[in-house]
Structure 1
């Protein structure tokens, strides 16, 4: 029996159980400053929307009130949160062109009463062109979000803005509205490709539109600890951004891929799975880092080593 307990599968199961227990023992408070993240990477297929919705669900699970703004015309974040986003649904598009306040388009996700979403519709695909002629076109979302957070959304602790895979006016609006940039990077070849362009855009936004914007967080996604490539990419990204990369990594996981087809995050679909645990660890680490920067007490019970790639 002892030999069976020492198999790779047994060790993996024991490690996952220990990580779950550590998460359950963590005590978290969201008192303090509100955090507004733009989740962006112009390179497609890096797990950007998946990271947005699952971090949002993880924060809500921890006790935060969370708003997801779906700024991608594909509307995948809206789908994953179970929020209707047909063409006639009031959406972020109506907010950007000035017809509706944000409070009128925000919906509550069926997943949690503390998880909200401002949905995207197909109309958002034309917003880039329509915004060109708008006054203060780069700050439309910022103004709408500020008004919402001062009114109906005053109880919101975390805002996550899901950007399209481009660096157009929609993404610039997101950067202008946020305090922090969160970049998901997949652990595959060419992981850093295009990142310099994204960082250049962040620098431009800092200079001209939003001096308070910071690149605070990089999340490694699609990590496969069995391959040397994933390990090398993780090492390379950490070498370039030692202060921004989370210790928690998001593995390649079937449950993470399956969840959106059921209109759910992985936490709702299979909250005990390795993918759900990884996103909860990432959210906890993001909160811990933010609390440390504020000089507060994050009070995290999760073991740091359990969040590192094994």
Structure 2
């Protein structure tokens, strides 16, 4: 039976406290919600599997639903996960702190029946043992792909069992430090080769303001970060993932998906907080992609110059 869902994200929804220039305020956060809000902005039908505490503001839950994310996969727990993010006056993140973790151990059984035939499941940034538990709960899947985001906070906590479970993963999102950690290879090319042999057909390496690299068995695509007036990178990797996954599911074109991911990351960079902005829709995303590609070409850079070694 065909699923009405393109993507289901699994992982955290959080309460984030932002500290900047002696000011303090709260915003909705969490990697799973950030990926989901980005994907729906690019016109994908998306659900989310997570657990919320009784303290989670109802207006944020309403905002999530208003964005277009299906919330039938949200469960309940006593207290919500909380993070604290500190910025300098230039709005650059200087400290990330896990204030309270009520991170839930989720498995395939936590997914509503309506989610189980989704075209793709994405395991957002979370504790390795929790992602490992979900991967172990997956049975044989047909016509369904799995993607996963690593988390720098736990770079030293990825066990051999977790790495072996990457055989169940089709797309891996990480940075150069994370892939070096799980591969035990310092050279970025060697690290990519080692991890690809474990299972992921596509590896997306993110580099914040410098852009990203998408590695397949045949080619490495290098993408610049789109210029913006601000440089708050919180949630940008998740927005890239939501954009990339949704566009790749639609077109099967890695390069096009990379440009869309870059566009979504640029919109998130212009605001505070991890969730993708509600007022940005696919039409505006595609216009941004067109302008970015034209600017890239006019600069004589139809293909980004350099190699992975230059990039990372």
Both proteins in one fold, TM over 0.5: no
| Greater share of strand | 2
TM-score band w.r.t. shorter chain: 0.3 to 0.5
Relative contact order higher in (CA < 8 Å, ≥ 6 apart): 1
TM-score (norm 2): 0.41
TM-score (norm 1): 0.41
